[in-house]
A and B are shown apart, each in its own frame.
Chain A
Amino acid sequence: MIQRMLAGGLIAGFAAGLLGALLHFAFVQELILLGEEYETGALVHFAGVGEGAAEASQDHAEGEAAQGHGDEEDGGSALTRNGLTVLFTGLIYAGYGLLLVAGFALAEHFGRRVEARDGVLWGLAGFAALQLVPAMGLAPELPGSVAADLADRQIWWFGTALATATGLAALAFGRGVMPAVIGGALLAAPHVIGAPLPEGFHGVAPPEVAGEFSARVLGVGFATWAVLGWLAARLWSRDA
């Protein structure tokens, strides 16, 4: 049982993670690098458009966005940086894969078999719980954007992911009215509470780039999660 879960979750996770990394370099990385050019001041938003340029540079010095990114200052090559991105994308999807197969096993424990086609739905539910719905409050952050206090954001993020996953499970597997009501309440609660927001919006990266970045991140996540769910369930049902 445990071997079946570990093997299926890890294999499906790393395979989906490789696809995710491929899609990351096709769609997302160029926007991260562009955002960092604004973040470091190599590019300036509003440059040549008016006096806004000077204000933007000043904001950069004060804003939270200026933190981080020691990797470049340490002289890390692009190869190392991108290699680590592939590694960590594989790792994070392996974690997702283990969570998914634990869900499959729990469903099977209660007498519901999970086939490959069900796995796609499971994957999309995972995408909703861990990426799409948290993004409604905390949009994927382009470097050069500002955001609220990190600890507050992490707490809201974890609470939202947990409430959304539990709410979706209650809707999908509950019987009768009460589970549906509880599920609905859990799905709504994080948004009633509201995500922590920064005190002001003074990011140095252009909103057009940030919007494109968020949309691409979610699109890549959608595709990768669908494949992860399908693959994990296929391995899971094959070993049954």
Chain B
Amino acid sequence: MREGNARAVGCDGKEKTMNALNQTAAKTSTGLMSILFVALIGATVMFVAGHAQSATLHDAAHDMRHATGFPCH
């Protein structure tokens, strides 16, 4: 199986290296985007549950806001 793959790439070592580099760069970029995405969701949840000042949200989250030390009202 491994030999078959090696033959499929051929003997152009340079092309293979470039592909590998491109793949690594793409993976790194995707990884950082995912991290940023998850951090943004976390921050949004924290803002909406802890800090947003809509009256309904404030009343519903009231005790939690006091009990986590957020500025409440």
Residues on A close to B: CB < 8 A? Answer: 1-2, 5-6, 9, 24, 28-29, 32, 64, 67-71, 74, 76, 81-82, 84-85, 87-89, 91-92, 94-103, 105-106, 109, 131, 134-135, 138-143, 147, 150, 153-154, 157, 214, 217-218, 220-221
Contacts and interface: CB of A to CB of B under 8 A. Distances in A.
B71 to A, nearest CB: 4
A217 B67 contact: yes
Contact of B45 (A2, A95, A147, A154): A95
B39 A102 contact: yes
Given A71-B59, A95-B50, A218-B69, 7 more contacts: A9-B42, A24-B63, A32-B63, A70-B59, A92-B49, A95-B43, A220-B67
Contacts of B64: 24, 85, 88-89, 92
Q: Tell me whether chain A's interface is mostly helix, strand or loop, or mixed.
A: helix
Contacts of B63: 24, 29, 32, 81-82, 84-85
A157 B71 contact: yes
B39 A99 contact: yes
Interface of B: 28, 30-32, 34-39, 41-46, 49-51, 53, 55, 58-64, 66-73
Contact of B34 (A2, A64, A84, A131): A2
Q: Tell me whether chain B's interface is mostly helix, strand or loop, or mixed.
A: helix
A99 B38 CA distance: 7
A141 B71 contact: yes
A109 B24 CA distance: 12
A131 B69 contact: yes
Contacts of B72: 68, 141
29 contacts: A2-B34, A5-B35, A6-B38, A24-B64, A29-B63, A29-B67, A69-B62, A84-B60, A88-B61, A88-B64, A92-B45, A92-B68, A95-B50, A96-B46, A99-B39, A102-B36, A109-B35, A134-B69, A138-B69, A138-B71, A139-B69, A140-B68, A141-B71, A142-B66, A150-B53, A217-B67, A217-B68, A218-B69, A221-B69
A9 to B, nearest CB: 7
A153 B71 contact: yes
A68 B38 contact: no
Contacts of B38: 2, 5-6, 9, 98, 101-102, 105
